[in-house]
Chains A and B, each alone.
Chain A
Amino acid sequence: DVKVTQSSRYLVKRTGEKVFLECVQDMDHENMFWYRQDPGLGLRLIYFSYDVKMKEKGDIPEGYSVSREKKERFSLILESASTNQTSMYLCASSQDRKAFFGQGTRLTVV
């Protein structure tokens, strides 16, 4: 089974802090994604990466950046966390148009 692992289940950060969310997959997938999940809004794509060092903006990239230095690892960076970035963040990887998700990181910005 594909395993997608997010480094933290819960995070609490202060406004203005730089925040790193880490995601690792173990199946050599080329595609990796970061979504945020909000009630009533579903999953919205922040960024995705289709290869090492390659990235593309999703629908809501503002306030976020990403890093993919190794194939198995995709990091989401909040440059200066704000309260409106309080959300559940989901990482996924995909192969043959099947997406596999991590368990999610619930980030609270206070």
Chain B
Amino acid sequence: AQRVTQPEKLLSVFKGAPVELKCNYSYSGSPELFWYVQYSRQRLQLLLRHISRESIKGFTADLNKGETSFHLKKPFAQEEDSAMYYCALSGHNFNKFYFGSGTKLNVKP
């Protein structure tokens, strides 16, 4: 069965420090992986997807099929990055999205 695991509920870093939000998945096939972000009092929105191989707001994520991971990274965290981050997976039935439990990122000044 499909599963998305985000082991950290809360991650606190200082401004300018590197940040890595972990995501591991299990899926019997080739899924598509996403990161969604929810800023305070805003709706959940797509941050990036692995097939795009792009950097959004300085964040990148690489799909590692061997480790079944899709960690989100940013070399220098900013205060405005403070938000809730969800890793998500879409599988063979591309109609469905499965989400992890979320990691709250707190970037301290």
Which of A42, A97, A101, A102 meets B90, CB within 8 Å? A97
- Per-position binary interface string of chain A over residues 79-90, scored 1 when its CB falls under 8 Å from any chain B CB and 0 otherwise: 000000000001
Q: Say how far A23's CB is from chain B's closest CB, in angstroms.
A: 12
Residues of A within 8 A of B49 (CB): 97-98
DSSP majority for the A interface? strand
Residues of B within 8 A of A (CB): 4, 6, 9, 32, 36, 43-46, 49, 86, 88, 90, 94-102
Q: Is A41's CB under 8 angstroms from B101's CB?
A: yes
Given the complex of chains A and B, what is the CA–CA distance between A39 and B30 in angstroms? 29
Q: In the complex, A4 Cα to B4 Cα: how many Å?
A: 25
Q: Please classify how large the interface on chain A is, using the bins under 10, 10 to 19, 20 to 34, 35 or more.
A: 20 to 34
A11 at interface (Cβ–Cβ under 8 A)? Answer: no
User: Are A43 and B95 closer than 8 Å at their CB atoms?
Assistant: no
13 further contact pairs, Cβ within 8 A, besides A42-B4, A43-B44, A45-B98 = A33-B97, A40-B101, A42-B86, A42-B99, A42-B102, A43-B102, A97-B32, A99-B88, A100-B45, A101-B43, A101-B44, A101-B45, A104-B43
